[in-house]
Structure 1
Amino acid sequence: MKATAFLAFTTMTAGLLATDALAQTAWPERTINVIIGASPGGDTDFNARTMARYFEQITGTGMVITNMPGGGATIATSAVRDADPDGYTMLFGHTGHLIVTEVSGLADYGIDDFEICCIPAIDQGAVFVASKASGLTNVEDVKAREPGSITFGTEFGGYSHLQGLIFQQETGTEMTIVDTGSASEKIAALLGGRIDVAGIAYGAVQDYHAAGQMVVLGQPNPERNPLLGDIPTFKEQGVDFVMNNPYIIAFPKGTDPEIVAKMGEVMQQITEIPEYAADLEAGFKQPVSFLPQAEAMTRLNEIRDAYMPSREALQAAR
């Protein structure tokens, strides 16, 4: 009887522990704090808020977007890295926040210090634009200018800084690269004639382009993003300049793998909603893209390896 009772007790206890473990990994049960290293209104903020709206539609649980711009997004990434790994703090960023900052030395950590969930989207709406006052209309105009005579506006140590460096390398040109700041500050500098060229999401400048206040030099996609209209790629102009910028969903290291996997499943469901695709097109001329965890890690490691040769140049400008 004692042995039987002990066995029954042991079985019951194991069952309770298993039930308790399942209860601990039930997710989501409350609002999730999504931290982004960008100001409101930009492409990263837009993608995060669009995701959050459909996340609530699918799960019934809300997300609050917390903007933490500054420091090349290191303020935001540090906040997520140091957060409790309970599944209720999440990073929505991109390769500029988690790879370029590592390459440039702005951060002493990178993708390996987080639980990478997936690539929820890929920015294919980036373009290089020139101010009307610059007189630049295409890549050949850029190549024809005297070294240093073109001013390229960027944020030192960030993704657009790397864009400028790789563009110079592939075109054989030399621009004067200056620290202008955020996308909105670049736009103001272009309109004011303080800089000649910048890399910006087309959705942010399409009205200025349509009004003739800016000229689009090209899109750094391997093939034309049809949502951008009649804008040639740089490859079409004889320049092997391709830089797509995947967005990244990540959790603090140690977050339950089941939570990470469930977030990936929900994100994939979101990408299958037609209204979501329409929102991305209307917002930043962005087609739907999604890479699950394993494919995302492969892609991100390839990008990190490709960017590492620019490490010294990025760090020298800091």
Structure 2
Amino acid sequence: MRRSPRRAVIGVAFAAAGCAAVFAPGAQAQSPWPSKPVRMVIGLTPGSGSDLLARALAQRLTPLWGQSVVVDNRPGASTNIATELVARAEPDGQTLLFGIDIGLTINPHLYAKLPYDIFRDFAPITLICDFGVVLVGHPSVPANNVTELIALAKSEPGKLAYASLGVGSQMHLLSELLANKAGIKLLHVPYKGTPQMMAATLSGEVQLAWAGMFSTRSLVSSGRLKAYAYSGTKRSPLMPNVPTFVELGMPEVEMGVWYGLLAPAGTPRAVVDRIHTDVAKLINDPVFRNKELIPKGYEPIGAGPDEFAAFLKRDFARKGEVVKISGAKVE
């Protein structure tokens, strides 16, 4: 079972000594960092939740670094395009990856060959946050809790349809984990994007979907959707009445999404430490935390480079098990 690093944010003074060696005048004749605008590459379209958080970080980091921080959206190939771009960038700290779990710890198990290796080609900087998703259903579904939903699925094998963003997406993997644990068969219906997926669920074209608490809370409270259970390790404050799969005796269905920052392998450690220190300041800042993280269902973490590297290894192994259960493969 996946274990996230403890939520205590790493102390922001952690990197001071290492940074001094590189940023001191004349240190190995290196230019001060950053020497030009910093590019933060993300593999999803503008307006997505991850994009909005990346832009909030960029806006706050710009005055701290004295250079513009520019969010560069490179969607496509399930975030592989953005991930490869950063893997091939100069290791000078000027190009960063706003990483999402699918590109780093899921896709390597889905694709027979990728143009990057997450352990060889990247320097982990910080694990920013993680969050779970909620299983929701159309109000016409004659089941009001997970027990009733499983019973319904068993009585009608393969008839209950769930929406996803495609093979290997979080929604696909979670649905297959649930089906495997409960001994049921569900119908997988992939969509091109979140708007199409949610429109299909709201119209009753499909019966089930997985989505973030922030985007579904009002739909559930207004009765347009039913909420069954949450995939996080503990209940979300956004929907405190929705149980977790863990407390329902189904810990196998616990799986969250995470966001982190990475740089190309070979980036100077002092630069990596400086970036982590400044991002940790923001995560600890009550204004940023209470505007950009907590209200949107994100659980702040702020783990440092070594802890993030260890987490990547654990999550890589965990997601490999999940993909194997799902049987998902992308040619």
TM-score by length of 2: 0.83
Structure 2 residue matching 1:46: 3-state secondary structure: helix
Residue identity over aligned pairs, in percent, reads: 23
Residues 42 and 259 from structure 1, CA distance in 2 versus in 1: closer, same or farther, beyond 3 angstroms? same
**Structure 2 partner of 1:308:** 320
Structure 2 residue matching 1:217: 3-state secondary structure: strand
Q: CA RMSD, aligned part only?
A: 2.1
The offset of 1:98, in angstroms, is 0.8
Assess if the C-alpha contact under 8 Å between 2:134 and 2:231 holds in 1: yes
**Structure 2 partner of 1:297:** 309
Structure 2 unpaired stretches of 5+? 1-24
Residues 99 and 299 from structure 1, CA distance in 2 versus in 1: closer, same or farther, beyond 3 angstroms? same
Note if 1:275 corresponds to 2:287. yes
Q: Distance in 2 between matches of 1:63 and 1:71?
A: 25
Residues 179 and 258 from structure 1, CA distance in 2 versus in 1: closer, same or farther, beyond 3 angstroms? same
The 5 Å alignment of 1:93-132 reads 93-105=99-111, 108=114, 109-112=116-119, 113-124=121-132, 126-132=133-139
Assess if the C-alpha contact under 8 Å between 1:227 and 1:286 holds in 2: no
Residues 184 and 92 from structure 1, CA distance in 2 versus in 1: closer, same or farther, beyond 3 angstroms? same
Assess if the C-alpha contact under 8 Å between 2:138 and 2:201 holds in 1: yes
Structure 2 residue matching 1:181: 3-state secondary structure: coil
1:147 aligned partner, one-letter code: P
**Structure 1 partner of 2:216:** 205
Match among 6, 21, 29 for residue 35 of structure 2 = 29
Offset from partner CA, 1:150-171 (integer Å, 9 cap, x none): 1121121223322222222222
2:286 aligned partner, one-letter code: P
The offset of 1:85, in angstroms, is 2.0
Structure showing the higher helix proportion among its residues: 1
Offset from partner CA, 1:201-236 (integer Å, 9 cap, x none): 111222222221111111112221223332211122
**Structure 1 partner of 2:262:** 250
**Structure 2 partner of 1:42:** 48
Assess if the C-alpha contact under 8 Å between 1:187 and 1:205 holds in 2: no
Using CA pairs below 8 Å that are at least 6 residues apart, which structure has the higher relative contact order?
Answer: 2
Note if 1:89 corresponds to 2:75. no
Q: Distance in 1 between matches of 2:220 and 2:117?
A: 36
**Structure 2 partner of 1:259:** 271
2:58 aligned partner, one-letter code: A
Residues 107 and 193 from structure 1, CA distance in 2 versus in 1: closer, same or farther, beyond 3 angstroms? farther
Structure 1 unpaired stretches of 5+? 1-17
Note if 1:235 corresponds to 2:246. yes
Q: Distance in 1 between matches of 2:50 and 2:142?
A: 30
**Structure 1 partner of 2:5:** none
Aligned residues: 299
1:77 aligned partner, one-letter code: T
TM-score by length of 1: 0.86
Q: Distance in 1 between matches of 2:179 and 2:188?
A: 10
Structure 2 residue matching 1:191: 3-state secondary structure: helix
